Chains A and B, each alone.
Chain A
Amino acid sequence: MSLVVAEDITKDYRVGEMIVPALRGISFEIEPASFVSFVGPSGSGKTTLLNLIGCLDAPTSGRMTVAGADVGALDRKEGAAFRGANIGFIFQDFNLLPVLTAYENIEYPLLMVQNIPVEERRRRVTALLEAVGMADQAGKRPDQLSGGQKQRVAIARALVTSPKVVLADEPTANLDSKTAHTVVELMKKMRDELQTTFIFSTHDQKLVDEVEILFRLEDGLLASRGNGEG
């Protein structure tokens, strides 16, 4: 059974009096434990699509099913609970909370979203810090970390709630090519270990070479689906 199913999805934005279509009838399926990328030029609808899968936004029409739930039909509270239980996010700008340490940045989704006892939290965060190679940087704040280190922390944060899907919006855009490669390898490793589906958007050709399934978007339409080289 597919983990993500998009059926004839459209998404329009209103800009003043104008209606701007971002997605124009897109359908696809993504299997569990996949390593998938949406590629395309800026404005092609990549981020919009990730927002719809991540239950951050609702489609104008069509149906988006994630882990068996019609995410477009969830209200705000249900959406928040669904994201907390099923989805992890990795952002282009890392988006770590600047006042918290690496350890705390990984821990906080567990505090409010999942009522997990302190010992279990510690076990999970420590294991992830080790898995992403950041155990010795646990007490540092984001401004004391390099770009690659921040993205490792962000990956750990995305995985700490044991989500079914991790959505990554241009995760290597702010990294040099060597670090970007390391980060992608780390995501693949985590996918292999945890069987988590990774879906990301990119227009970085080096990253495209690493993915297993590639969806190409153009002007809000799915132009092609193919297997990557990764």
Chain B
Amino acid sequence: MYYAYILKELRHHRHRTLVNILGIAVGIALFVSINAVSTAYQQAVSLPFKNLGADLVVQRAEKRAVNSSQAGPSMRGIRLPFSNQLLSTDDLDKLRIFPGIDAMAGSLLLWDFDQGGFRTIMGVDLSQPSLGPVHIKEWLAKGRFPDKKGEVVLEKHYAKFHNTGLGDKFTIGSRSFKVVGLLEIREGAQIASANIYLPMADAQDLVGNESKSVNLVYLRLQNPSRLNQTKTEIMQSMPGISVVSSDAILEVMGGISRISDQFSLVVSLVALAGAVFLIIKTMLGNLVERSREIGILKAVGWTGGDVQKQLMGEVFLQSLIGGIVGVAAGYLISYLLGYLSIPVTTPWEVNLLPAFAKETGAAAQMIRLPVSFSAGLTAAALALSLLAGGLASYFVGRRMAKMKPADILRRL
């Protein structure tokens, strides 16, 4: 290959070169940005689970919630949420030894309806594995976590709203607690975000729970790729149990979260096909101009293969530059989009708030798109740009290589 000729040819036909590079760059930028944003969106949606280190959340809904002919529940005082009834010892034992479970932790979620309004209370056992609400230890903004009964930690905005600070007395039901810590709910951790956190034993006392059980179980799987199978297996072997994963959030989100990998690929390939078409069209448009060169090159002894290699060199270089520019532009677009925050809606199964609180907006949390650089995506994008160039140069080059020098020179 005659490299100096390639560079000079591309420089000499600046506009043609620029159009080809831009064509490839636009296709690649679309490919990168669609994939990067789609991946970021899916990561954002999975944050509520990821932040807790959990793959699945298991709970048992109140029977009345299924059978509406029963009498309505009392909406006063402290009570268990409709979708979070206490799990039996049998349920917990089954889950603990369920195949594929790596770790398990539980918490007790309570609703408190009093004259001051509504609030959520979560009982946490800090001695459990680093899974589920145990992560609240990492969210402490001030103070410490309770190390004995009678102490609570408040979510800091809730505490501010109620003019409560560290060391203050705080009443839940008829019991008085001391505020020993304030915490800030981490972005995307809404499936464990309560107003009040307290030791498990206190929470169990509040609800009068003699069996000392929990109503939310967080599971970490040994093999997260078996998530759907494990989810189905648990539901089949434990009737009435509800098992939720981050897929449930994807289902309620709609929009871009529905962009599957295949859809991204199809859109990107359409964009790249456009780029290939553009290059072929530009190059065929210049075939008359270039036929003189080809005729001369062949006359002096270059073979069809030599001419094709030379042309492929030109297209390869344009594709590479187009690919690099496209990858850079794609990530730039993605990072700019990453400044946007998206509302991640919590599905009702794991929404800690009652249905009537939906309108408050508390059920959806704004999460910034966690766009990140992916070596795999970058490599795929560059490979696609070279493939696009390879296809274009193959079609144009084959046509050029087949041209007979005598025919070309006769026409000149």
Pick the contact of A91 from B303, B305, B306, B409 — CB < 8 Å?
A: B409
Interface size, chain B (Cβ < 8 Å): 27
B409 and A97 form a contact (CB under 8 A): no
Give Cα A93 to B408, complex, Å. Answer: 14
B296 and A95 form a contact (CB under 8 A): yes
A57 and B298 form a contact (CB under 8 A): no
B302 and A80 form a contact (CB under 8 A): yes
Chain B 294-307, CB-CB to A under 8 Å as 1, else 0, gives 01111111111110
A112 and B302 form a contact (CB under 8 A): yes
Q: Does B263 have its Cβ within 8 Å of any Cβ on chain A?
A: no
Instruction: With CB as the reference atom, state the residue of chain A lying closest to B295.
Output: A95
B301 and A112 form a contact (CB under 8 A): yes
Pick the contact of B303 from A80, A100, A108 — CB < 8 Å?
A: A80
A97 neighbours in B (Cβ, 8 Å): 5, 293, 296
Give Cα A83 to B303, complex, Å. Answer: 10
Interface extent on A, as a size class? Answer: 20 to 34
Give Cα A54 to B300, complex, Å. Answer: 10
A84 neighbours in B (Cβ, 8 Å): 300-302
Pick the contact of A108 from B2, B404, B405, B406 — CB < 8 Å?
A: B2
B409 neighbours in A (Cβ, 8 Å): 51, 56, 91
A93 neighbours in B (Cβ, 8 Å): 412
Pick the contact of A51 from B297, B300, B406 — CB < 8 Å?
A: B406
B292 neighbours in A (Cβ, 8 Å): 95
A85 neighbours in B (Cβ, 8 Å): 301
Give Cα A161 to B302, complex, Å. Answer: 13
B300 and A104 form a contact (CB under 8 A): no
Q: Does B8 have its Cβ within 8 Å of any Cβ on chain A?
A: yes
A88 neighbours in B (Cβ, 8 Å): 300
B306 neighbours in A (Cβ, 8 Å): 80, 112
**Given A56-B299, A99-B5, A100-B5, is A47 in contact with B12 using a C-beta cutoff of 8 Å?**
no
Q: Does A157 have its Cβ within 8 Å of any Cβ on chain B?
A: yes
Instruction: With CB as the reference atom, state the residue of chain A lying closest to B302.
Output: A112
Chain A 102-160 residues near chain B, CB threshold 8 A? 104, 108-109, 111-113, 157
Instruction: With CB as the reference atom, state the residue of chain A lying closest to B8.
Output: A99
A80 and B296 form a contact (CB under 8 A): no
Q: Does B9 have its Cβ within 8 Å of any Cβ on chain A?
A: yes
Measured CB to CB, the closest approach of chain B to A217, in angstroms, equals 17
**Given A99-B8, A112-B2, is A83 in contact with B299 using a C-beta cutoff of 8 Å?**
yes
B297 neighbours in A (Cβ, 8 Å): 112
Q: Does B4 have its Cβ within 8 Å of any Cβ on chain A?
A: yes
B300 neighbours in A (Cβ, 8 Å): 83-84, 88-89, 108-109, 113, 157, 161
Pick the contact of B8 from A56, A77, A100 — CB < 8 Å?
A: A100
Give Cα A157 to B409, complex, Å. Answer: 17
Q: Does A76 have its Cβ within 8 Å of any Cβ on chain B?
A: yes
**Given A83-B299, A109-B301, A113-B300, is A56 in contact with B5 using a C-beta cutoff of 8 Å?**
no
Give Cα A116 to B292, complex, Å. Answer: 25
A56 and B296 form a contact (CB under 8 A): no
**Given A99-B12, A111-B2, is A56 in contact with B405 using a C-beta cutoff of 8 Å?**
yes
Q: Does A81 have its Cβ within 8 Å of any Cβ on chain B?
A: yes
Chain B 303-320 residues near chain A, CB threshold 8 A? 303-306
Measured CB to CB, the closest approach of chain A to B279, in angstroms, equals 19
Q: Does A41 have its Cβ within 8 Å of any Cβ on chain B?
A: no
Measured CB to CB, the closest approach of chain B to A110, in angstroms, equals 10
Measured CB to CB, the closest approach of chain A to B9, in angstroms, equals 5
A113 and B302 form a contact (CB under 8 A): yes
Subset of 20 A-B contacts with CB under 8 Å: A51-B409, A54-B299, A56-B299, A56-B404, A80-B302, A80-B303, A81-B301, A84-B302, A85-B301, A88-B300, A89-B299, A89-B300, A91-B412, A95-B295, A99-B12, A109-B301, A112-B301, A113-B301, A157-B300, A161-B301
Question: Which A residues form the contact surface with B (CB < 8 A)?
Answer: 47, 51, 54, 56-57, 76-77, 80-81, 83-85, 88-89, 91, 93, 95, 97-100, 104, 108-109, 111-113, 157, 161
Besides A57-B404, A80-B304, A84-B301, 12 other A-B contacts (C-beta < 8 A): A56-B299, A56-B406, A57-B406, A76-B304, A95-B295, A97-B293, A99-B11, A99-B12, A104-B5, A108-B5, A108-B300, A112-B302
